[in-house]
Amino acid sequence: MDLPEKEITALVADDNEQIREMICYELEKRGFTTRAAGDGKEALVKIAEGKPDIIILDIEMPFVGGEEVCERLKKDPGTQNIPIILLSARRPSKRILRNKSGAPIKYVEKPCTFKCLLAQINALL
């Protein structure tokens, strides 16, 4: 799937501005609407403002890390069905990946190609 059939909003949360902007740029070229956050705290605020269809999270971010963001979202019935991709050089804990609440959580190791990331996004949507 290159272009989404309906408007799909992706939240991209990564403290690396270049990675964040590149992912948003590539998704927007393919018809996605994107929102960006530079840390986990900002990501939680943006999710509260409007639920995205998918979330791409770095694990190691300032203030609130990606694993904590996942835990908070999966405990909340209002957000537990949002699929999450953890895009990070650091492998997440098995506890996070085994989460059975709501939508799945996938792990994609950095560095990766955008094609690889897009395949995971398509698999979750």
Quickly list H helices, 1-125.
17-29, 40-49, 66-75, 94-97, 114-124
In a domain, 107, yes or no: yes
Is the pLDDT at 105 greater than 90? The verdict is no
Is the backbone of residue 64 left (phi > 0), alpha (psi -120 to 50) or beta?
A: beta
User: CB neighbours (10 Å) of residue 1?
Assistant: 13
pTM: 0.86
Q: What is the pLDDT of residues 52-80, one digit of tens each?
A: 999 999 988 888 888 889 889 988 899 98
**Mean pLDDT confidence for 104-119:** 84
Domain holding 91, by residue range, is 9-124
Burial of 76 per CB tally in 10 Å (0-12, 13-18, 19+):
middle
In a domain, 110, yes or no: yes
Q: What is the CATH number of the domain that holds 71?
A: 3.40.50.2300
Residue 91 pLDDT grade (very low, low, confident, very high; cuts 50, 70, 90): low
User: CB neighbours (10 Å) of residue 67?
Assistant: 21
The number of folded domains in the chain is: 1
